[in-house]
Structure 1
């Protein structure tokens, strides 16, 4: 059993009215990568994402909307760390330091497939 937790950082833009872009940031901690995946692809969340055009602006440019990483110290999870990981991903792509569902890493830093 591991004491590591998965951190999920969402960085999206909403506009009400559209055109007035404001960032929406979400930072959550999960017990496992599988529980986060199950929630993210659950019926309610999927429906919200299908309806996102009602409350999120489409991205004109390619935009990374989330990253995740493993942590052993939940108390160290912070907005500063989230942006550090986000920017690292933008510069280096997915690594065991920060990744996404398409290229995920397990607690040992090995690539894995999440289902």
Structure 2
């Protein structure tokens, strides 16, 4: 399920999507910007058309959370529409894991989802 912000592609155009879980931002950054993955990133313009859209999104989840493609697409669309936030962010304006801890605490005290309010944390400097 491609993000809604991406244009509809015909049969000759492709884009890559992955969905993975990481324990911390340092680990994913070390993977993304070193070794074979970094070499591939340097050549991405040879393989993919630049669309001027976010190419990745990050967010914090609870340890028992199950990811799916729709959630990833929705978060990427949110990043595109609203910029980096605690809900969906990038490495340029990351948020720390306290976002998920605050949400879990709120959930314990107010178990009804309709009463929960989003955390309004500031990005890390």
**Shared topology, TM-score over 0.5?**
yes
Which residue pairs with 2:57 in the alignment?
67
After TM superposition, the structure 1 = structure 2 runs for residues 6-45 of structure 1, keeping only pairs within 5 Å, are 20-45=12-37
Which residue pairs with 2:110 in the alignment?
none
5+ long unaligned stretches in structure 2: 1-5, 100-120
Report how far residue 104 of structure 1 moved.
Answer: 0.2
TM score, norm. by length of structure 2 = 0.66
TM score, norm. by length of structure 1 = 0.71
Structure whose CA Rg is larger = 2
Q: How many residues align?
A: 96
5+ long unaligned stretches in structure 1: 1-11, 13-18
Encode CA deviations 1:30-63: one digit per residue, 9 max, x unaligned: 111110011111132221111223322233xx21
Structure with bigger RCO (C-alpha 8 Å, 6+ apart): 1
- The two structures, once aligned, show a CA RMSD in angstroms of 2.5
After TM superposition, the structure 1 = structure 2 runs for residues 1-115 of structure 1, keeping only pairs within 5 Å, are 20-59=12-51, 62-109=52-99, 110=121, 111-113=123-125
| Higher share of residues assigned strand | 1
Which 4+ stretches in 1 moved above 3 angstroms? none
